[in-house]
A = this chain, B = another copy of it.
Amino acid sequence: MTSPNATSRERILANALSLFAARGADAVSVRDIAAAAGVSPALILHHFGSRERLRQEVDESVIATFDYLLDAEATTASVTTASVVELMTAGLPPGSPLPAYVRQLVLTNSPAGSKLFKRWYELTVNVTAQMDAAGQTNPTDDPAMRAAFLLANDLALLLLQRHIEDATGVDPLSTAGLQRWATIALGAYTDGVFVPPHPE
């Protein structure tokens, strides 16, 4: 899980991230993390002061990772889909605990979750505004709500991953699943899903 020559501090952080992601931060004790990292519980308090500060530091590291991913995306690739989920699956190693951790962040009332959502929302507003200006979207008189709609739908895939996998039999975050999902989403957002009530 962690490279064996990592410092104890780094091992604590990495294992805390994994455990928080898997079970939710409130369900993980200092002793759990200590056992996973192979250190004594007291060492965690020595390095981080309190359980809460460890949690905050994990939050900050996650936010920093996303800042890095967004920067990398902004410089290298062109603006393609502006999908947070695709950004994550493309930029993170396959077994990364980060998607699960983000799920926990967004669903609890943590300030880090609010920060991430707010950042993604502004990104969505900007991208859709650019597309508006380029004439690539159908006009709307409620761009704020439309951005929220698109972002929420994007995150829904992440939040409901398990349930969607249960229902359809395919992990929607796998390569194959994501492709099917993206096909549906793209089709829905361009051609629509329902036919207009007054055809002609």
User: Which residues from chain A sit less than 8 Å from chain B, CB to CB?
Assistant: 24, 26-27, 103, 106-109, 113-114, 117-118, 121, 131, 135-138, 140, 142, 144-146, 148-150, 152-153, 155-157, 159-160, 162-164, 166-168, 170, 172, 180-181, 183-185, 187-197
B167 touches A156 (CB 8 A): no
Contacts of A136 in B (CB 8 A): 194-195
A191 touches B195 (CB 8 A): no
Known: A107-B107, A189-B193. 8 other contacts (CB 8 A): A121-B163, A135-B195, A146-B184, A146-B188, A150-B193, A152-B157, A152-B164, A153-B156
Tell me the number of copies of this protein.
2
A-B pairs, top 9 by smallest CB distance, nearest first, are A156-B156, A152-B156, A117-B163, A121-B167, A189-B193, A153-B153, A107-B107, A149-B184, A192-B192
A167 (CB) vs chain B CBs: closest residue: B121
Pick 21 A–B contacts, CB within 8 A, sort by A: A103-B107, A106-B159, A106-B163, A117-B166, A117-B167, A135-B195, A138-B195, A140-B184, A140-B187, A142-B183, A145-B172, A148-B164, A148-B172, A148-B181, A149-B185, A150-B193, A152-B157, A153-B156, A189-B194, A190-B194, A191-B192
Contacts of A195 in B (CB 8 A): 135-138, 190
Interface class of chain A by DSSP: helix
A160 touches B155 (CB 8 A): yes
- In the assembled complex, how far is the CB of residue A185 from the closest CB belonging to chain B, in whole angstroms? 6
Query: How far is A56 from B148 in the complex, measured between Cα atoms in Å?
Result: 34
Contacts of A160 in B (CB 8 A): 106, 117, 152, 155-156, 159
Query: How far is A118 from B157 in the complex, measured between Cα atoms in Å?
Result: 16
Contacts of A168 in B (CB 8 A): 144-145, 148
Query: How far is A168 from B24 in the complex, measured between Cα atoms in Å?
Result: 27
Counting chain B CB atoms within 10 Å of each CB, which of A138, A144, A149 scores highest?
A: A149
Query: How far is A172 from B144 in the complex, measured between Cα atoms in Å?
Result: 12
